[in-house]
Amino acid sequence: MLTSWSGPVRDALEPAVLVDSETVHVGGKWKVEVQTVDIAGQRVKRDIVIHPGAVSVLVLNDRDEVLLIRQYRQALGMYLFETPAGLLDITAENPLEAAQRELAEEAGVKAARWETLVDFYNSPGGSSEAIRIYLGREITELPDGRIVTGEAEEMDLPCVWVPLEQAVDLVLGGDLGNPTTVVGVLAAWAWRMDPHRVLRNANASWSAREGLKSLGRLPSV
């Protein structure tokens, strides 16, 4: 028999009792902890990636086309089509400002209109990575093109404009699998299909990130 839930349908910060924590790896951007916690009276160990979080931008022009960049990802050995995105690994940098900076660095464009499209957790079973996707509109190209600041994977980032409806087909057909692309495209389509739906403003509170900060699970903040 299914157990019924009678409370609000909303994610809630209710951390389990932390019994012990051991850092087993420290990398360039994140670390891995083995945490011993008490969950429902059971003491268990969980491997947790402590991640700084990230932002992404679903760029939509006046022709209802989505901007995607093609980038290599070593973990998969694949080139993926992605929405412009970046880590929140600069201490005290505002997430919106980070998204605007990444858009200039990766795509060479800027948006005059910004809204919060959707928030999500990339892999909540084992990572503290929280991602916010912004909707960027009223697009203009930077006079000198993209601001190249990265290395290797970020040296060459070809861009393509894809009609939003076609992007939905590519996602549902399995041709696009990057998480910010999948979530951003489908969220933008849901928003576009409901003319009465109002998005949150660009500086909307991000309770998920604040919760992670209170738990000490943002390594660069």
- Residues annotated as catalytic are 154
CB atoms closer than 10 angstroms to residue 210:
13
What does the DSSP assignment read for 173-195? TTS---HHHHHHHHHHHHHHT-T
* Cα 8 to Cα 4, 11, 13, 206, distances in angstroms: 12, 9, 13, 18
Q: Which two tokens stand for residue 105?
A: 């660095």
Q: Which two tokens stand for residue 203?
A: 């500086």
152: three-class secondary structure by DSSP: helix
Strands (E), the chain: 17-26, 31-39, 42-50, 54-59, 65-73, 78-82, 85-87, 109-121, 130-141, 159-163, 200-201
Strands 31-39 and 17-26: antiparallel
- Residue 16 CA, chain-centre distance (Å), reads 25
139: three-class secondary structure by DSSP: strand
